[in-house]
Amino acid sequence: MPGFELFGDLERKEVNDVLDNGVLMRYGFDGMRNGHWKAKELEAELQNTFQSKHVQLVSSGTAAVSIALASAGVGAGDEVIMPTFTFVASFEAIMMLGAVPVLADIDDTLGLDSEAVKAAITSKTKAVMVVQMCGSMANMDALKAVCDAHKLLLIEDACQAIGGSYKGKPLGSIGDLGCFSFDFVKTITCGEGGAVVTNNEAYYLNADHYSDHGHDHIGHDRGAETHPFLGYNFRISELHAAVGLAQVKRLPEFLEIQKMNFDIIKRALAQIPQVTFRTVPEGGIESCAFLNFFLPDLETATKVSEAFKNNGIDACFHYYNNNWHYIRKWEHLKNLKSLYPISHEVKEGLRYLNEKSFEKSDHYIARNISCLIKLSWTKDEVEKRANKMVELINSVVN
């Protein structure tokens, strides 16, 4: 991760096909295309990748989350339970619909804790959104059982986890709807882009229409299409889809490199008694986009993180004080800093953030360091990096 590290001839060919053809929009202009439909081709490839009946490409992973929720009827005043550890896009996508993000603790998987989800359910709860952070997964069986028992939607944000799986199913294909990002720093990239994945035809048709101003996409005359309901513009372009089409064909190659580099570093760190690793639920296979490990306490993790920064070990994140990925620093959410008035339902729904604490999440995030696994490293570079990481951690803990 990320796929842009290995751009090559295949990406250039697919993009040049679009430029030579001249149609950059994914819909319409049928007579000009000469049979070129990059977005449709990519959706077909992703159906196989995700082992799902339906894939709708959209403009971003954030858009995918909003579209998935809207497609299943989540909107004003509904509550969506989500984890404290994620990217800010998770609560942004919920709030954009007028729904209320309800944050709940994580466990040692770094994903939603099922007991915390149970405690957060109210009469307004409509969905649980699990976020498969850093290439791995929450305890999906436990979360699915909670959702089934309370008749809640299970939305799977797998934006960071393409290539991971749980009990033989690709991450993103397990919930009622799955969401993916193909932005510039994902394992496969479109530059900007995302996808909604589902086996539910009604949700798929809703996503298809909603993401393109409500167009029903029936027939071959875009101007004559009807609008069964309101929608917005979350379309992907043919240029972005072309890049993704090349990248998805290379996904096995990327995953093999990620796993090799991941394994080298993990074997080295496993020699240190004070290092433990995130829990991967039985039957789960990480995508290996990130290596996540725990140190004994916040002080140790902080010192190790600083040692990494000061000694050339880049792309390692201590999320405890991170502005983008953990509840502690989301002051703009807690204080509702918005350019436009926030609805009464959302204001009231988020009051809990002024007094709620998340000690269980703090326990894990304070001690966690997450290391991006790059595709461009040579084996020699990975081994040197692993040895340096061991040396620096030992200098702190011993």
Exposure string (b/e) for 177-195, b if CB count within 10 Å is 16 or more?
bbbbbbbeebbbbbbbbbb
Q: How far apart are CA 249 and CA 58, in angstroms?
A: 19
Q: What is the pLDDT of residue 103?
A: 98
Beta bridge partners of 165: 170, 285
Mapping DSSP to helix (H, G, I), strand (E, B) and coil, where does residue 129 land?
Answer: strand
Domain over 3-250 is classified CATH 3.40.640.10 = yes
Share of the chain residues as helix, strand and coil, in percent rounded to the nearest 5 = 45, 15, 40
Record: fold of 252-397? Aspartate Aminotransferase, domain 1 (3.90.1150)
The answer to whether residue 343 scores a pLDDT higher than 90 is yes
β-pairing, 165-166 vs 177-181, is: unpaired
The one-letter amino acid code at 199 reads N
The answer to whether residue 314 scores a pLDDT higher than 90 is yes
CA 256 to chain CA centroid, nearest Å: 20
Residues in contact with 244: Cβ distance below 8 Å, sequence separation at least 6, in sequence order: 42, 57, 182, 188, 189, 190, 193
51 in Cβ contact with 169 (< 8 Å): yes
Token pair, residue 378, equals 């040579």
Q: How far apart are CA 176 and CA 68, in angstroms?
A: 9
The answer to whether residue 157 scores a pLDDT higher than 90 is yes
pLDDT tens for 11-41 read 999 999 999 999 999 999 998 998 999 999 9
68 in Cβ contact with 189 (< 8 Å): no
The catalytic position among 186, 309, 334, 379 is: 186
Residue with tokens 């991450």: 171
What is the rounded (10 degree) CA torsion for 217, 218, 222, 223?
-120
Q: What is the CA radius of gyration of the chain?
A: 21
pLDDT tens for 230-268 read 999 999 999 999 999 999 999 999 999 999 999 999 999
106 in Cβ contact with 129 (< 8 Å): no
Domain parsing of the chain, residue ranges: 3-250, 252-397
Q: Please report the DSSP string for 77-128 in residue order.
A: T-EEEEESBS-THHHHHHHTTT-EEEEE-B-TTSSB-HHHHHHH--TTEEEE
The H or E element that residue 387 is part of is: helix 379-397
Q: How far apart are CA 306 and CA 301, in angstroms?
A: 9
The answer to whether residue 1 scores a pLDDT higher than 90 is no
pLDDT tens for 54-75 read 999 999 999 999 999 999 999 9
Mean pLDDT of the chain: 97
Beta bridge partners of 103: 82
The answer to whether residue 150 scores a pLDDT higher than 90 is yes
**Residue 186 bears catalytic tag:** yes
Average pLDDT estimate for 275-293 = 98
CA 193 to chain CA centroid, nearest Å: 12
Mapping DSSP to helix (H, G, I), strand (E, B) and coil, where does residue 194 land?
Answer: strand
